Amino acid sequence: MTKTVTEASHREPFIRLARRDAVPFWKKMAVRVLAVLLALVVAALFLYFVTGLNPIEVYKTMFKGSFGSKRKIFTTLRDMSTLLCVGIALAPAFKMRFWNIGGEGQILMGALASAICMIYFGNRVPAWQLYTAMAFFSIFAGALWAFFPAFCKSKWNTNETLFTLMMNYVAIQIVACFTNIMRGQNSSMGQINQTTHAGWFPKIFGYTFTINIIVVAVLMLLMFLYLRYSKHGYEISVVGESENTARYAGINVRKVMIRTMLISGAICGICGFLIVAGRDYAISTTTAGGTGFTAIIVAWLAKFNTFYMALISFILTFLGNGAEQIASDFKLNEFASDIVTGIILFFILGSEFFINYKIIFRGKQHGAKEVRS
């Protein structure tokens, strides 16, 4: 008896995913551009049929939200630099496959250290000494907050995702406790040293946060060089690929893990310092504002390339500011404007999936095989 069956029908599911081979750069860009165009079309349909608004006018308003004035341009660059700074901090840890979800807490601890320096030393020491103390203690606090999960992971193989996430909530409670102590009888701390501006960055081009942008640009370049060309960057890559391979190659995995997390936490601490000294001039439990979580998307989509991170940080910031402008100008609730942002972001993330993976249906790679019995 002779019967013909499909070999895959017995062994393979109807649909499965497979990782793509190397995709040319131009194809990747074409997929991303197509994803953005599709996102704009879908968002336009939502705006027209659900809200009754003219999509073209809405998109103009989104653009105005980020580039409508000199102030808005600098604000966009400010918010972009904050997000980029945290993405830069997470990049070495993620490249090492250490899932540092604790950027939020590390930012808060760095910000708290800066705020304490401003409050207790603001009017007692020269400006350069105050800035030095703020930077030093912010870096130390952020690095210390990243050290604990790194040490426990390297020594007892604890789950770094849960550990770093837990540390966020501990940091929130510490900040809440200290702000409650420092504000005394006041219901709110408000801006620190509002009269003397001690600890505030000097204005450049009319804004104190210009220094934030400059510092983050320098960090972006340094981190790119560090990961791409330094021995430490090579060790991070090897550990990320396989810890066993790294050990066979003579790399001290424990040392690399702790060192990398100290760098990651230190840069998050710097971000906290920049937020307090150049943006908010205050400290609260919401100082980080979810940036530590959003930066995960930035680092992951950019494949840990800091220059790509700058582009993705800009896109996310543009969408966020645009959503706020839409809600303000068209009197929409924040949910409607966030849906537009969500649609665009969904297509961008989806494009990365199809760049890296392909869908295979049963029988596509296996022809019919004749079986005799």
* Mean pLDDT within 353-357: 83
Buried b or exposed e, range 45-80, using 16+ CB within 10 angstroms = ebbeeebebebeebbebbebbbeeeeeeebbbbbbb
CA gap 138, 306 in Å, rounded: 22
CB 220 within 8 A of CB 155: no
Q: Which of 320, 271, 317 is nearest to 292 (CA)?
A: 271
Out of 146-155, 189-198, 212-221, least confident range: 189-198
Q: Which residues, including other chains, have CB under 8 Å from residue 35's CB and lie 6 or more apart?
A: 347, 348, 350, 351
CB 138 within 8 A of CB 270: yes
Per-state percent for the chain, helix, strand, coil, to nearest 5: 70, 5, 25
The percent of residues above 90 in pLDDT, for the chain, comes to 57
CB 243 within 8 A of CB 152: no
CB 117 within 8 A of CB 303: no
Residue 11's pLDDT band (cuts 50, 70, 90): low
CA gap 275, 108 in Å, rounded: 10
78-95 pLDDT per residue, tens: 999 999 999 999 999 999
State yes or no: pLDDT of 293 exceeds 50: yes
Question: Which of left, alpha, beta for 364 (phi over 0: left; psi -120 to 50: alpha)?
Answer: alpha
State yes or no: pLDDT of 367 exceeds 60: no
State yes or no: pLDDT of 50 exceeds 90: no
Q: Which residues, including other chains, have CB under 8 Å from residue 244's CB and lie 6 or more apart?
A: none
* Mean pLDDT within 50-79: 88
Q: What is the pLDDT, as a whole number, of residue 10?
A: 55
Out of 40-49, 109-118, 239-248, least confident range: 40-49
* Mean pLDDT within 11-32: 79
Cα angle 91, 97, 99; round to 5: 75
What is the number of residues in the chain?
373
Q: What is the pLDDT, as a whole number, of residue 343?
A: 87
State yes or no: pLDDT of 372 exceeds 50: no
Q: Is 4 helix (H, G, I), strand (E, B) or coil?
A: strand
* Mean pLDDT within 289-305: 91
* Mean pLDDT within 223-230: 96
Q: Which residues, including other chains, have CB under 8 Å from residue 128's CB and lie 6 or more apart?
A: none
CB 178 within 8 A of CB 112: yes
The bridge status of strand 15-19 relative to strand 357-361 is antiparallel
Cα angle 342, 209, 130; round to 5: 130
312-345 pLDDT per residue, tens: 999 889 888 888 888 888 877 767 777 887 888 8
Q: How far is CA 364 from the centre of its chain?
A: 38
Q: What is the pLDDT, as a whole number, of residue 365?
A: 54
CA gap 143, 320 in Å, rounded: 29
State yes or no: pLDDT of 186 exceeds 70: no
Task: Tell me the average pLDDT of the chain.
Answer: 88
Buried b or exposed e, range 337-352, using 16+ CB within 10 angstroms = bbbbbebbbebbeebb
Residue 266's pLDDT band (cuts 50, 70, 90): very high
* Mean pLDDT within 60-65: 87
Q: Is 111 helix (H, G, I), strand (E, B) or coil?
A: helix
* Mean pLDDT within 259-285: 96
Q: Which residues, including other chains, have CB under 8 Å from residue 39's CB and lie 6 or more apart?
A: 343, 344, 346, 347, 348
Select the more confidently predicted residue: 1 or 278. 278
CA gap 124, 19 in Å, rounded: 60
State yes or no: pLDDT of 228 exceeds 60: yes
Select the more confidently predicted residue: 238 or 60. 238
Q: Is 26 helix (H, G, I), strand (E, B) or coil?
A: helix
